[in-house]
Amino acid sequence: MHHGGIYEEEIAGKAYDTALLRRFARYVAPYRLSITIVVLILPLVAACRLAQPWIIKLAIDNHIITGKLAGLENIALGFLAVLLAESLFSFLEVYLLQSVGQQVMSDMRSELYRHVMHLPVSWFDRVPTGSAVTRLTSDIEVLGEMFASGIITIIGDILLLIGIISVMLWMDLKLSLVTFSVLPVLLYVAYTFRRRMRKSFREVRARLGRLNAFLNECISGISIIQIFNRERDEERRFSLLNGSYRDANTPVIFWDASLYALVEALSSIAVALILWYGGGEIVKGALTFGVLVAFIQYIEKFFSPIRDLSAKYSVMQGAMASLERIFALLDTPATEQKSPLPTFDKSGYSAGGDESIPLIEFRDVSFSYQDGNDILSGFSLAVQRGERIAIVGESGGGKTTITRLLTRLYEIERGSILLQGKDIRELDLAQVRRRVGVVLQDPCLFAGSIEFNICLGDLQARQRVRQAAAAVGADRFIDRLPNGYDEEVREKGSNFSVGEKQLISFARAVAFDPEILVLDEATASIDSASEQMIQEGIKGMMQGRTSLVIAHRLSTVRDADRIITIRHGIKTEEGTHEELMRAEGIYSRLYRLQFGEM
């Protein structure tokens, strides 16, 4: 397992907060009513907080200092009412914000998942699974934190700060100017830390994705790791990645703690300035004791949101880094889906089509997974409806690539593939894949029931589940299970044998009733007894269908109408079994080698 890089594309590039937030606003727009209510509540919360020191000033100057206790109880009740009002408004603010945050996260996660489902397979070849999962999970969760303690509450903090500055300037101009002499230093510190924390957060998100990718790979391949005694090596690799993730968080922690400490120090300096200058003014009789107390409380309320700024910066910068990654994924082009041009009848044929036209035709198709290294080179093949075509050859010769191109898992680079005379790139992708049923060498099962794994939730396929299972012989072992077709399938089908999983895959292909059937080494994982059991079922499901069979076991392709031999991506032979055996070419040598006739 190789994890030498850090997936630079995940952290490179300059981000602009305004552009990201403007794009993010599209997801918030459906919940504008709740956001509007919150925005209307914010001034009320700020007003309640501003009123508290003022009420204390009135109590001190008008009652406590003068000794006039009459009316003090009313001030106390007013102070309590303001506290209760602040609590109520704060509850509504937090509840609505977090509710909207959950809705927005749900919407973005759904859109991201839909987009990932339509990305080309080549994207999954490049991007580790763990990195993709990180964007769908933890990157989205960070946006919820942004709603809870970031984007909107910052507006409330700004309103509170403006209100405090206004009230303090109105109460005493000179004392306010002395107090606010620390603000230039505060603004410089906040600006400097903002830039440094953004870079650190990009690094943290990228390394978390790499760590998740490694964990996913290790857990998926745990049996191989244990069989070959590689536990310690993998532990060392994990330690390196884990340490790398820890080290990426160190600058974040440093800047976070530094910002908090500096704000705390500036807050203390401001209080000291109030006591120094305000105390002198009281002695001179130019300032009341109530104003001094109110100033101290206001300055504490002033620095409280700024003190929390480090945490909010952490949340906001983490959110910006996550938005960069999320939008980069959403901007990845999905597989192009053309509007359906032909109309299909119930049999899957194009209405009014010319049946003399080959159902499948490869015209001079060339393709490479990497530039300059063709897997297929000038491949041409015409397949008539109802034909059974076998494709054989050495491993890596391009056999499986043919099926991937036919189902548009990868797009053709040169040449064309026609489906009943129409280029598949001009046909609706879903319709193309509906007409082609594929059974792969490695069966893929999902958590759920056997019935679900055969029909995959498709209503039409569900009606054919039992018929399809009987066609391939899967019903023989399914009927013996305690819950039959409702039997639970664990992760990756771990509670079934390889042969049983492949039989379920066969039944799945039949249940979707495709016009074209592709068997890509489909019997390679089946033992001899199971293979004999399903051969008749395979013949039955091939009746009335066009079939492409890719196989290493040449015994399974002897009855094919035509056998195509591929070598280094080039078609070298074509004919029936008897014709190719008489030709004494590649197929003949492979056949004799398998059956010990050389």
Please list the pLDDT of the chain residue by residue as tens digits (598 residues). 444 433 444 443 333 467 888 888 889 899 989 888 988 998 898 899 888 888 888 888 887 877 777 778 888 898 999 999 999 998 998 888 888 888 988 999 999 988 888 888 878 877 777 677 878 888 888 887 777 666 677 778 888 888 888 888 888 888 888 888 888 887 787 777 766 776 777 777 778 778 877 887 787 777 677 776 778 888 888 899 898 888 888 887 887 778 778 888 888 888 888 888 888 878 887 778 888 888 888 888 888 777 666 567 667 777 877 888 888 888 888 766 554 444 444 344 444 455 678 889 999 998 888 776 788 888 899 998 888 999 988 777 788 888 888 888 888 888 999 998 889 888 888 888 888 888 887 788 888 899 999 998 888 889 999 988 888 888 888 999 999 999 998 877 888 887 788 888 888 888 888 889 888 877 666 666 666 665 665 666 677 788 898 887 777 788 888 999 988 888 888 998 888 888 888 888 888 887 665 4
What's the rounded Cα separation, in Å, for the pair 116 and 341?
25
Q: Please, what's the b/e burial string for 343-379 (b: 16 or more CB within 10 A of its CB; e: otherwise)?
A: ebeeebbbeebeeebbbbbbbebebbeeeeebbbbeb
Q: Which structure tokens are listed for 510? A: 């039949």
Runs of H (alpha helix) within 14-152: 17-28, 32-59, 72-117, 121-126, 129-136, 138-149
CATH node for 25-330? 1.20.1560.10
Q: Which structure tokens are listed for 335? A: 């597989």
pLDDT (0 to 100) of residue 325:
83
Counting Cα atoms < 13 Å in the Cβ hemisphere of 575 gives 14
What's the rounded Cα separation, in Å, for the pair 64 and 91?
33
Q: Which structure tokens are listed for 94? A: 């937090």
pLDDT (0 to 100) of residue 118:
83
For 461, the enclosing helix (H) or strand (E) is helix 459-462
What's the rounded Cα separation, in Å, for the pair 560 and 576?
7
* Distance in Å from the first CA to the final CA of the chain: 40
Q: CB neighbours (10 Å) of residue 381?
A: 20
What's the rounded Cα separation, in Å, for the pair 361 and 229?
48
What's the rounded Cα separation, in Å, for the pair 38 and 44?
10
Q: What does the DSSP assignment read for 340-406?
A: P-S-B-TTSPBTT--TTS-SEEEEEEEEEEETTEEEEEEEEEEE-TT-EEEEEESTTSSHHHHHHHH
Q: CB neighbours (10 Å) of residue 216?
A: 17
Q: Do domains 25-330 and 360-594 have the same CATH topology?
A: no
8 A C-beta contact, residue 82 and residue 46:
no
User: In the CATH scheme, what architecture does the domain 360-594 have?
Assistant: 3-Layer(aba) Sandwich (3.40)
**Strands 546-550 vs 516-520: parallel, antiparallel or unpaired:** parallel
Which tens digit of pLDDT belongs to each residue from 191-201? 777 667 767 77
Q: Is the C-alpha dihedral spanning 29, 31, 37, 41 positive or negative?
A: negative
**Nearest CA to 207 among 13, 11, 12, 15?**
11
**What Rg do the C-alpha atoms of the chain give, in angstroms?**
35
Q: What does the DSSP assignment read for 502-552?
A: HHHHHHHHHHT--SEEEEESTTTTS-HHHHHHHHHHHHHHHTTSEEEEE-S
Q: Which structure tokens are listed for 163? A: 């209100």
Q: Which residues pair with 567 in a beta bridge?
A: 570
What's the rounded Cα separation, in Å, for the pair 116 and 120?
9
Q: What does the DSSP assignment read for 93-105?
A: HHHHHHHHHHHHH
pLDDT (0 to 100) of residue 77:
92
Q: Which structure tokens are listed for 380? A: 């041409």
**Strands 360-370 vs 414-419: parallel, antiparallel or unpaired:** antiparallel
pLDDT (0 to 100) of residue 309:
62
Q: CB neighbours (10 Å) of residue 215?
A: 16
pLDDT (0 to 100) of residue 412:
84
What's the rounded Cα separation, in Å, for the pair 226 and 504?
28
Q: Which structure tokens are listed for 492? A: 């990756």
Q: Which residues pair with 254 in a beta bridge?
A: none
**pTM of this prediction?**
0.71
Which tens digit of pLDDT belongs to each residue from 199-256? 777 777 778 778 877 887 787 777 677 776 778 888 888 899 898 888 888 887 887 7
For 565, the enclosing helix (H) or strand (E) is strand 562-567
Counting Cα atoms < 13 Å in the Cβ hemisphere of 398 gives 25
Domain range annotation of the chain? 25-330, 360-594
What's the rounded Cα separation, in Å, for the pair 364 and 412?
11
DSSP helix, strand, coil percent of the chain (3-state; round to 5): 65, 10, 25
- Sheet containing 516-520: give its strands across: 436-439, 516-520, 546-550, 388-393, 562-567, 570-575
Q: Please, what's the b/e burial string for 69-105 (b: 16 or more CB within 10 A of its CB; e: otherwise)?
A: eeeeeebeeebeebeeebeebbeebeebbeebbebbb
8 A C-beta contact, residue 520 and residue 389:
no
